[in-house]
Structure 1
Amino acid sequence: MSKPRLRRRIAPALGLFVLAPFVGELLLGNLAISEFGLALLLAPLYGGGALLIRETARRAGRGWPAMVLLAAAYALIEEGPVDQLLWNDAYAGHDLLHGESFLPAIGMNVGLTVTILALHTVWSICVPIAVVEAFVPDRRTEPWLGVPGLVVTALVYLGGVNLVFWGTLAEEDFMASPLQFASIGVVIAALIVLAFRVGRDPRPPLPGPAPSPWAVGAASLIGTSAFWGPANLVTADWYEWVNVAVWCVVAVAGTVLVLRWSRMDDWRPVHVFALAAGATLTYAWTAFPVQPETPGSATLDLVGNTVFAAVAVLILIGAGRAVTRHAGGAVALDR
């Protein structure tokens, strides 16, 4: 394979490897700009996971339903067996378990669980995949890596898993029970199996035009903001179950709408990008009230959030231009 062709295939894979931890930690506001190096250490976990999910699904001929389910499995893997946030009542010095939605029978908090499912499924995995695929719309459904690259990606991801597991264990000195590990393992396995069983048969198209990409992006921004905005701004205990209810409404309504819209004749890759762009902008604005895991200077936090938001907007502009040109220019974008 010629070097230009190799670079053409590898470039989007490297882009996804870098973008996933950027969105998942820095744009989220979880890490301050002074902790940029820590985001690089998390790249094998986030970037390796996103790339492995994308390549596995695309090589199997699967699309977004499979990637969403695999992303949900990734979320439970990271916050379950890997760093054990789902069960640790003193994670990073905070008790995130014993709130209003804590269920003693399973030792888990419903609000925390749906939150990590939303954050990792939507933002850590699906948003970076959709944005990078928008940069290369002519190769969005093709594998970017060969078998050797896929093996290397899997090894890098496993290295990231081990790094976070042992690092968190040393820092937190917490180990969940065998029953908790086994229970979540069953759920993770079910999600992975289901991912490769859905979407095998094409769904019949629906009559009528899909909403414009601008409308789809606005719906994504409003829906994701309705969940994640109040989750950061409202700190009262009573809101915990309300947030769970909001998550359920947004998740169900969003799934129903996207499944319906995607069956319409003029649904295009630019619509998928619009969904990701709306969710990205939600992270950009909600990062400002988020307190980083390691408290520091409020000024430095403001600067970091501003810089990361600006970088995200520039990335979206580049991806939007690429996918719009492929769709036929501004006319196609406005349909």
Structure 2
Amino acid sequence: MSVESTPAPQAGPPVTLDRDRSKPLRILGLLALCGIGAELLAAYGDSTGDPGGIAFSLLFFGALYGAPALLARDLARRIGGGWPAMLLLFAALGVAEACLIDQALFSADYQGYEGWEETREATLVPVLGLSAFNAYNFVVGHIVFSFGAPVALAEAWRPDKAAEPWLGPFGTVVALLAYGGAASLIISDPESHSAGTTQLAVSAVVVAALVIAGIVVARRAGHGTRPETGRRLPIWVTFTAALALAVAAGLAEETWGGLAVGTAAVALTGFAVLRAARLHDWTVHHAAAVALAFLVVRGVLAFTYFPLLGDVAPGPKYLHNAVMLAIVLLAGWAALRPRPT
């Protein structure tokens, strides 16, 4: 009996794995940028100008803001969602932070911050037990500065990876533990027990509704088609327009009139972005330009006041402001720098 020999398999082209070596840097950069955008850039706390306090704040706020930003972003991206879905999820995180974790929205004198009571009384809604301006300032502030703007810049660092999830199973677990640990430390503080039972229950319902809405929007976006776009809008035009709106929002006074101005500026920004995305070739760089404008305004305005807590000397205070603004500008340059075609 003869044995028929089989030809040896032909060697094909070498298999290369697309390893994203920059992903750990993007993740670490986003964690730091979330902490800076949320707290350190505004420089209103007593850690301003203190290197040790800043180092601790970067770690703590990276866990408190950066970790959930990563989780929300990954959730939206895994199910095909874009910015509408992410913003709803960021809104859920903002409500959770202000109403369930530190409960600052319901506090009459939170942590002894200077001017807190006056600001709260100016737009107090007694039946809700909260300040309308604070509700706008805290929730919108978290959406923009704690989550949205840092994510927009980080995604533009590697545009080809912007629509992909960045965390694997291990990274997701680490992010959940980091967020849970940081939030637990704040909740354990007696100063964070300002909300009543009804306020906590309603806030939890709002958070759940926003999460569900974000998932629904993401799933619908994943099954939809991208609308036709026209010519590309210059980045400088996007940045300039966003800068003007960010200035209007940033200078809004803590009154009912200021609330109207700030709300209008933010709403107009959202409308303009949606309109531009439909009429033009909108890219991650345009989103980054909007994000950078709002962060720059926040950083510049921080030069105009001293921390609301503690006694900080002018030298360390202004150096802190300059360094934080420089970090934001560097992150913006990395997002918007020209790339070879």
Shorter-normalised TM range = 0.7 to 0.9
Counterpart in 1 of 2:210?
A: 191
Q: CA deviation at 1:312?
A: 1.7
Q: Which amino acid aligns with 2:156?
A: A
Change (3 A) 1:296 1:3: farther
Q: TM-score by structure 2 length? A: 0.85
Q: Which amino acid aligns with 2:172?
A: L
Q: Which amino acid aligns with 2:44?
A: N
**Within the alignment, does 1:110 sit opposite 2:132 as a pair?**
yes
Q: CA deviation at 1:300?
A: 1.6
Max Rg structure:
2
Quick one: percent identity of the two aligned structures?
A: 31
Q: Is the 8 A contact 2:285 2:335 kept in 1?
A: no
Residue-by-residue CA offset, 1:247-286 (whole Å, 9 max, x unaligned): 2211221111111111234222221111111112111211
Return 5+ residue gaps in structure 1 as ranges.
232-238, 329-335
Worse-matched range after superposition: 201-210 or 22-31: 201-210
Secondary structure of 1:209's counterpart equals coil
Distance 1:15 1:261 in 2: 28
Counterpart in 2 of 1:280?
A: 295
Distance 1:123 1:116 in 2: 10
Change (3 A) 1:309 1:8: closer
Distance 1:51 1:279 in 2: 20
Distance 1:173 1:54 in 2: 27
Q: How many residues align?
A: 314
Distance 2:31 2:192 in 1: 30
Where do 1:211-250 residues align within 5 Å?
211-231=233-253, 240-250=255-265
Distance 1:298 1:70 in 2: 38
Counterpart in 2 of 1:60?
A: 79
Return 5+ residue gaps in structure 2 as ranges.
1-15
**Within the alignment, does 1:20 sit opposite 2:34 as a pair?**
yes
Counterpart in 1 of 2:154?
A: 132
Distance 1:173 1:65 in 2: 30
Secondary structure of 2:54's counterpart equals helix
Residue-by-residue CA offset, 1:274-325 (whole Å, 9 max, x unaligned): 111111211121111243233311222111101211222122112211xx41
Q: Is the 8 A contact 1:16 1:128 kept in 2?
A: yes
Distance 1:276 1:176 in 2: 32
